[in-house]
Chains A and B, each alone.
Chain A
Amino acid sequence: MTTKQFMIVNRKAPYGTIYGWEALEVVLIAAAFEQDVSMAFLDDGVYQIKKGHQTKGIEIKAFEKTFRALEDYDVTKIYVDQESLTERGLTADDLTIPVEVLSRAEIGKRMEEQDIVLAF
């Protein structure tokens, strides 16, 4: 199988729309087919991996937990935009998985390196 470099870009908050969960499913599928997958979280996308989602009240699956399975899928390149965190009063400690916090320019560079970029 040919391996391609995929980057899935997340810019939407979780639960308000279905985009976050759909993006994660794409990541899991691409990883199951042993593709080289990375994820970038920018803008409201950083809220997807904010710790402590309690979704019982809104009756939607808390897919924050699913991000913790990414390691099993060998998805370890998780980039988070520094500016987006700062604007929302968040730091890497508020996030549910270990990530690499980068400047927007650094994330732009990583995007340039990909074969395929999918934006959600």
Chain B
Amino acid sequence: MALEVNGKTYETDEEGYLVSLGDWNEEVGKFLAQQESINLTDAHWEVINFLRDYYTEFQIAPAVRVLTKAIGKKLGADKGNSQYLYELFPYGPAKQACKIAGLPKPTGCV
């Protein structure tokens, strides 16, 4: 499968996740968000950038429980809870936010 943004084609897997991490840029992120019917705000970008940094550091997309805890540690307890994250990404912060951030599906995410 593939998606097209600004005339460029990007390969995705059967669930719509980018195959190559290096393909990602903000425009692709915006396109993926649109497909998920999400209007990206600064709060969304904060989570997306957090996930990309986490991936660079640990080479994995974290499970929801781990994401919640790690965000709480870095961005404050008001953001480190699942209610906040599900408001931003209603179909699951790990699943949806990872897809928009261009990361693979988190390990253990069904």
Residues of chain B contacted by A66 (CB below 8 angstroms):
58-60
Interface size class of A (residues with CB under 8 A): 10 to 19
Distance of A25 from chain B, by nearest CB (Å): 5
Cα-based distance from A61 to B69 in the complex (angstroms): 25
Interface size class of B (residues with CB under 8 A): 10 to 19
Which residues of chain B (47-65) have a CB below 8 Å from chain A? 57-60, 62-65
Residues of chain B contacted by A61 (CB below 8 angstroms):
59
Residues of chain B contacted by A73 (CB below 8 angstroms):
63, 66
Cα-based distance from A103 to B9 in the complex (angstroms): 54
Residue in B69, B70, B107 whose Cβ sees the most chain A Cβ within 10 Å: B107
Contacts between chains A and B (CB distance < 8 A), count? 39
Cα-based distance from A66 to B66 in the complex (angstroms): 13
A18 within 8 A of B: no
Q: Is the CB of B108 within 8 A of A32?
A: yes
Q: Is the CB of A72 within 8 A of B69?
A: yes
Q: Is the CB of A69 within 8 A of B107?
A: no
Q: Is the CB of A29 within 8 A of B58?
A: no
Distance of B95 from chain A, by nearest CB (Å): 13
A: residues with CB less than 8 A from B are 25, 28-29, 31-34, 61-63, 65-66, 68-69, 72-73
